[in-house]
Amino acid sequence: MSQNQVTAEASGTYTLGDLQVNRLGFGTLQLSGPGAWGHPADPKEAVRVLRRAVELGVNFIDTADAYGPLVTDVLIKEALHPYADGLIIAAKVGVARPTPQDWVPVGRPAYLRQQVELNLRHLGVERIDLLQLHRIDPQVPLAEQLGELVRLQQEGKIRHIGLSEVSVEQLEEAGKTASIVSVQNLYNLANRDAEAVLDYTIANQIAFIPWFPLATGELGKAGGPLDDLAQRLGSQPAQLALAWLLKRAANILPIPGTSSVNHLEQNIAAAGLELSDEDFDTLTHTV
């Protein structure tokens, strides 16, 4: 199957709460400026990337008010509104960007409500399909942070609630206040520190959304473990990294991001790459 023929449907599906999504999605962080600050250098290409992603079967798009800030929400609306039936947009709130370098957790209920309202306005929707708490604010009780999101959910402004960068203990605590359908933690072939959280989500039917899913870097260099196998399979190192995630667990929803249509097409082509058990084990134990 050629790269341009592969669509996200080939990655399989997952039921997120009551929403079915194709497992290989798209993350929008790289559509904002450098360091997720400001506007993209080529806004027209950013719009093309989003439209091409949907053309290639992506129906799960991840954004956050902190990207830009509020740049990627506007790009999504410009590129895709009115939204096709079945297109699921996941947003995040709970991080302020006072400077390009700073990502500051802010979990005060009034702030979270304000940011949800801004996401709704900038995305052009009446309800956010999946609203994730971007970071837990250690200065505010978790029950207060999630309690406000639950109130917004009861008001019909949020459909499902998720968390980002949490431990198993925090997940268990969160479950006392809200029904959690997703967790978005750093996880990839080279960084598996969230293994215990992944195992918890598997056992509890919670989606696991790995951010920074590629992280090929040194792994993909000439002679490295990804490069050797990629050459044998006629693929790219980044495609192997995504294929490994898709095979690792059925609840993993990778959201690779890019600001290039060409790179997008390469990433989506990973949905058609089936790793043998032997190749999967080789990657698992040599990286």
Region 6-17: what's the mean pLDDT?
97
Position 218 scores a pLDDT of 62
Position 216 scores a pLDDT of 62
Q: Residue 144: inside a domain, yes or no?
A: yes
Position 1 scores a pLDDT of 39
Q: Residue 235: inside a domain, yes or no?
A: no
Between residues 151 and 286, the one the model is more confident about = 151
Residue 30 has pLDDT above 90, yes or no: yes
Residue 2 has pLDDT above 70, yes or no: no
The active-site residue, picked from 67, 83, 187, 200, is 67
Q: How many residues does the chain have?
A: 287
Name the 3-class secondary structure at 16.
Answer: strand
Position 287 scores a pLDDT of 72
Q: Name the nearest CA neighbour of 93 among 72, 63, 50.
A: 63
**Cβ within 8 Å of residue 285, ≥6 positions away:** none
Residue 170 has pLDDT above 80, yes or no: yes
Q: Name the nearest CA neighbour of 122 among 134, 133, 114, 132.
A: 114
Position 13 scores a pLDDT of 98
Region 120-139: what's the mean pLDDT?
98
Q: Residue 182: inside a domain, yes or no?
A: yes
Region 174-191: what's the mean pLDDT?
96
Task: Measure CA 143 to chain center.
Answer: 24
Is-cis flag, bond preceding 43, omega within 30? no
Q: What is the 3 state secondary structure string of 50-104?
A: HHHHHHCCCCEEECCCCCECCHHHHHHHHHHCCCCCCCEEEEEECEECCCCCCCE
Q: Residue 165: inside a domain, yes or no?
A: yes
Model pLDDT for residues 59-75, shown as the tens digit of each residue: 999 999 999 999 999 99
Residue 222 has pLDDT above 90, yes or no: no
Residue 112 has pLDDT above 90, yes or no: yes
Structure token digits, residue 85: 């039936």
Least confident of 117-126, 194-203, 272-281: 272-281
Instruction: Please report, for residues 5, 196, 243, 270, the alpha-carbon distance to residue 193 in angstroms, rounded to integers and kept in the order given.
Output: 34, 8, 19, 24
Structural domain total, the chain: 1
Mean pLDDT, the chain, integer: 94
DSSP3 helix / strand / coil % (the chain, rounded to 5): 45, 15, 40
Q: Is 83 considered catalytic here?
A: no
Structure token digits, residue 155: 């008001």
Region 82-94: what's the mean pLDDT?
98
Position 286 scores a pLDDT of 77
- Separation between Cα atoms, residue 229 and residue 232, nearest integer Å: 5
Position 217 scores a pLDDT of 61
Q: Residue 81: inside a domain, yes or no?
A: yes
Instruction: pLDDT band for 220, please (50, 70, 90 cuts).
Output: low
Q: Residue 40: inside a domain, yes or no?
A: yes
Give DSSP secondary structure letters for 176-189.
TTS-EEEEE-B--S
CATH number at residue 171: 3.20.20.100
Position 228 scores a pLDDT of 82
Q: Residue 267: inside a domain, yes or no?
A: no
Structure token digits, residue 142: 């978790």
**What is the span of the domain harbouring residue 193?**
11-217+250-259
Model pLDDT for residues 239-257, shown as the tens digit of each residue: 999 999 999 999 999 999 9
Position 285 scores a pLDDT of 87
Contact 282, 229 (CB under 8 A): yes
Contact 266, 52 (CB under 8 A): no
> Which amino acid is present at 187?
Y
Q: Residue 151: inside a domain, yes or no?
A: yes
